[in-house]
Amino acid sequence: MSDYLPGLAGVPATKSNISDIDGNKGILSYRGYPIEQLAERSSFEETTLLLLDGELPTRQELAEFDEQLRENRRVKYNIRGLMKTLPATGHPMEMLQSAIASLGMFYPGNACLIGGDACEDLFYIHNMTVKIIARMGTIVAMWEHLRNGYDPISPRNDLTYAENFLYMLDGKDPDPMLARIMDVCLILHAEHTINASTFAVLVNASTLASPYSVIASAIGALSGPLHGGANQRVLEMLHEVGSPQNAGAYVDKKLANKEVIWGMGHREYKTKDPRATILQGLVSKLIEERGGNINPMMETALAVEKAAEERLAHKGVYANVDFYSGILYSEMGIPVDQFTAIFAIARSAGWLAHWREQLGDNRIFRPTQMYTGSPSRDYVTLDSRG
């Protein structure tokens, strides 16, 4: 029997051609395309179609896919009614998991998932994929209004995915620069090989569960602070640090107590996360656009990163994507507890690409275990137990 490896660290669980990481060199690519090029030149819609189909689309293919996303942004009033019954104090990720899981009851369809080992109905897969991705942003934006006692803002079909999401958050035509920043953020978070939430997708997809259940399971995994929830913790950490002058002492204290420094380190990268580098550049551009006055939180973040790097670089611990994404969303005026939900919106593209890949050559996941319990023994009656 193979050795037990906690967390399946380094154990190949599947074969995939969707994305790849070179952790030593700090390289991330989607379908072979470097993330830096996609962030600079692509859009979330185009990147999503690349992840799903494997190739950059033609102009016509992209236009058709974009139109399908726009046409499927609206949700039935029943969904809004269900969301109104949820506690306003609930976390957006809990809401999102509940709402996505419920979509299967309002938009049923599992014709491809009736048994056997594979699903080859690409029309079904594509149709379900469009419906889920299109509505992820809508549901997250709706919650921002519903939990504050207001009716949600209806989506607009004349806006891009990123533009529409920002519009639905505050009802204002989005600033072009902020819309582009959001678009890049969605691209950067869209896919990242077999992480915890994507592994949840594979396991659930292998049982031929509905895609709504599959994505709901992934949202649950992403909500954890050791996965997508870390970007919210970064903001909380920076508030705790207070000022740049406190950064060194704060990092030393965390290390001495063997506590987590949120946003630092990544299991895959031994150098700075390439997504963090791009996000840091976006923060700088936004600050420059706003007159060059650096946000105190950004100053504190830079000091924390420097202090952590001085102490941990020799161990291959550097800033990851969560460190700067939270700072950027904060600069954009987005509530802190919505950060991970935005992560989920973007990652739905990668999740559904892996869902499709799993269905194409399916085998149910059934790992084994190493039993560490009691040896075989006879049952003792209750009267004999004293």
Contact assessment for residue 135 and residue 129, using Cβ atoms and an 8 Å cutoff: no
* Catalytic position from the list 66, 189, 192, 266: 266
Per-residue pLDDT of 219-240, as tens digits, reads 999 998 888 878 888 988 999 9
Per-residue pLDDT of 242-299, as tens digits, reads 999 999 999 999 999 999 899 898 888 888 999 999 998 998 888 888 777 667 888 8
358: three-class secondary structure by DSSP: helix
Quickly state the pLDDT bin for 110 (edges 50, 70, 90): low
pLDDT of res. 13: 87
- Phi, psi torsion values for 211, nearest 5 degrees: -60, -30
Q: What's the whole-number mean pLDDT along residues 165-189? A: 96
Q: What's the whole-number mean pLDDT along residues 151-166? A: 97
Question: Over 60: is that where the pLDDT of 117 sits?
Answer: no
Q: What's the whole-number mean pLDDT along residues 146-167? A: 97
- Phi, psi torsion values for 264, nearest 5 degrees: -115, 130
Do the first three CATH levels of 14-223+347-360 and 230-331 match, i.e. the same topology? no
Question: Over 90: is that where the pLDDT of 4 sits?
Answer: no
Burial (0-12, 13-18, 19+ Cβ within 10 Å), 204: buried
In sequence order, the 6+-apart residues with CB closer than 8 A to the CB of 206 are 358, 362, 363, 364, 365
* Catalytic position from the list 322, 361, 378, 383: 322
Q: How many CB atoms lie within 10 A of CB 223?
A: 21
pLDDT of res. 375: 95
pLDDT of res. 226: 81
Q: Output DSSP code: residue 58.
A: P
Catalytic site includes residue 322: yes
Question: Over 80: is that where the pLDDT of 1 sits?
Answer: no
The token pair at 125 is: 């897969």
Which of 225, 178, 180 is closest to 343 using CA atoms? 225
Q: Output DSSP code: residue 153.
A: P
- Strand ordering across the sheet containing 27-30: 19-22, 27-30, 33-34
Q: Sign (positive/negative) of CA torsion 278, 279, 284, 285?
A: positive
Contact assessment for residue 68 and residue 60, using Cβ atoms and an 8 Å cutoff: no
Q: What's the whole-number mean pLDDT along residues 374-379? A: 95
∠ CA(90), CA(92), CA(96), 5° rounding? 110
Catalytic site includes residue 354: no
The token pair at 52 is: 């799903």
Question: Over 80: is that where the pLDDT of 96 sits?
Answer: yes
Class of domain 230-331: mainly alpha
The token pair at 167 is: 């519009």
Per-residue pLDDT of 28-77, as tens digits, reads 999 999 999 999 999 999 999 999 999 999 999 999 999 999 999 999 99
Give the distance, in angstroms, between the CA of residue 65 and the centroid of all CA atoms in the same chain: 21
Comparing 322 with 60, which gets the higher pLDDT?
Answer: 60
Q: Where are the domains of the chain?
A: 14-223+347-360, 230-331
Per-residue pLDDT of 197-211, as tens digits, reads 999 999 999 999 999
39: three-class secondary structure by DSSP: helix
Burial (0-12, 13-18, 19+ Cβ within 10 Å), 88: exposed
Q: What is the mean pLDDT of the chain?
A: 91
First to last CA, the chain: 40
Which of 124, 195, 177, 365 is closest to 285 using CA atoms? 177
Q: How many CB atoms lie within 10 A of CB 113?
A: 19
Nearest-10 crossing angle of helices 122-146, 92-106: 130
Class of domain 14-223+347-360: mainly alpha
Contact assessment for residue 322 and residue 263, using Cβ atoms and an 8 Å cutoff: yes
